[in-house]
Amino acid sequence: MTKILVVEDESAIRSFIAVNLRRQGYDPVEAASGEEALAVMEQQQDIAVAILDVMLPGMDGFAVCRALRERFPAMGMVMLTAKGQEQDKVQGLQLGADDYVVKPFSPKELLARIESLLRRLERPTVELGSRQEASFTSGPFIMRPDQRKFYKDSREIELTPREFAIIKLFMENPKVALSRDDVLNSVWGKNYIGDLKTVDVNIRRIRQKIEDKPEDPKYIQSIWGYGYRWLGGD
């Protein structure tokens, strides 16, 4: 049974989320604070996804997100943000969150986001006879989907599940102009309710990890008013 960490200081909301997760066959693990969440993760490292409220007492959701991303880079994370707090969404994504849900939200929406994220967290292997999905090579980069590994100049670069999926999409479509909608639909799913800024924030974060000069990128080219193109240094 898939474990999902629910970090929310309001007991009514936390219980509401946990009950709905349990109804869908998940195993919710509750935490009322950021400090408690980190302690839980040290004891139960098989948790697949964390749902983090931004407004937590003491250690806030952003600090928890940063700490969890550093400690558990392959873990999925969904932030719960207040309605209209655009900066909260951007900051959460910049710190490593995979997605966000705006309060108030419906259980159906939250579950859809979790299910979409869990699909991305699965090991991306494809049956090719007896072989697993082939590696991708582009300039100084090598991606091994079966191992969920990404390298630049033989040095491994840690990526979140969303970042991994975005780069995989790029490397499968070298030098192709991909719109923000193309990226959003492929990586987040066609039923994703979020906005296109989610793509831009993730691209900025990827550039910080792979570009020699993120302010002057040469691997991921911006196409003004449209989207992005993967050059890969070829």
Determine contact, residues 124/132, Cβ cutoff 8 Å. Answer: no
pLDDT tens column, 134-156: 688 899 999 988 888 899 998 99
pLDDT tens column, 13-45: 999 999 999 999 999 999 999 999 999 998 988
| DSSP string covering 177-214 | EEEHHHHIIIII-TT--S-THHHHHHHHHHHHHH-SST
- What are the helix and strand counts (H, E) for the chain? 8, 12
What Å distances lie between residue 18 and 15, 90, 175, CA to CA? 5, 26, 44
CATH topology of domain 3-121: Rossmann fold (3.40.50)
**Numbered ranges of CATH 3.40.50.2300 in the chain:** 3-121
Per-residue tokens: 158:
């840690």
Indicate whether 126 pLDDT > 50.
no
User: What would be the CATH architecture of the domain defined by 136-230?
Assistant: Orthogonal Bundle (1.10)
State the residue for tokens 């479509």: 173
Query: Residue 129 has what pLDDT?
Result: 38
Q: Is the pTM of this model over 0.85?
A: no
Query: CA 164 to CA 220: how far, in whole Å?
Result: 14
**Numbered ranges of CATH 1.10.10.10 in the chain:** 136-230
